[in-house]
C-alpha cells in the first residue's frame, strides 16, 4: 500500500491514468461503431466502462436500457481471449499505472475481433 501511495504522488500519474483510460474507451467504442454496435462509454480517472446503447448514459435508468445480453456475450468472448473486464455493465473497470500502451492496443485489437463476431 505504501509503495502504491508513493507512485500515486508522482506528478502526472493521475493524468496518465486518465489518458490510458480514455485511449482504451475510445478505441473500443471506435471498434464497436466500425462493426455497427450502438455503444457508449466513459471514464473518471482510472475508472472506465461501456454500455451497449446509444449514449451518453448518465444515470441508472439510462444504463438499464442497455443490451445486457450483448454485454454478457461480449464479456465472455473477451474473457475467452484473455481480457478480464468488469463482469457487469453496472460495474466499473479500472486502469492501472502498470498497464502499458501496448496492453491497451492489444485489448483494443481483441475487442475489434470480438465485436466483429458479436
Q: Nearest Cα to 29, choosing from 44, 42, 15, 47?
A: 42
Q: Is the peptide bond before 104 cis (omega within 30 degrees of 0)?
A: no
Alpha-carbon gap, residue 14 to 117, rounded angstroms:
35
Q: What is the pTM of this model?
A: 0.93
- C-alpha span between 48 and 41 (Å, rounded): 7
The answer to whether the CB of 41 falls within 8 A of the CB of 29 is yes
On whether the CB atoms of residues 117 and 76 are closer than 8 A, the answer is no
pLDDT in tens, 27-75: 999 999 999 999 999 999 899 999 999 989 999 999 999 999 999 999 9
Write out pLDDT tens, residues 88-116.
999 999 999 899 999 999 999 999 999 99
Q: Which of 68, 77, 71, 20 is nearest to 48 (CA)?
A: 20
Amino acid at each position: 500500500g505504501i509503495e502504491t501511495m508513493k507512485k500515486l504522488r508522482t506528478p502526472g500519474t493521475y493524468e496518465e491514468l486518465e489518458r490510458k483510460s480514455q485511449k482504451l474507451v475510445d478505441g473500443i467504442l471506435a471498434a464497436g461503431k466500425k462493426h455497427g454496435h450502438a455503444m457508449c462509454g466513459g471514464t473518471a480517472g482510472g475508472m472506465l466502462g461501456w454500455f451497449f446503447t446509444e449514449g451518453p448514459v448518465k444515470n441508472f435508468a439510462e444504463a438499464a436500457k442497455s443490451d445486457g445480453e450483448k454485454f454478457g456475450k461480449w464479456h465472455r468472448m473477451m474473457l475467452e481471449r484473455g481480457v478480464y473486464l468488469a463482469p457487469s455493465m453496472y460495474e466499473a473497470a479500472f486502469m492501472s499505472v502498470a498497464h502499458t500502451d501496448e496492453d491497451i492496443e492489444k485489448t483494443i485489437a481483441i475487442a475489434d475481433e470480438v465485436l466483429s463476431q458479436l
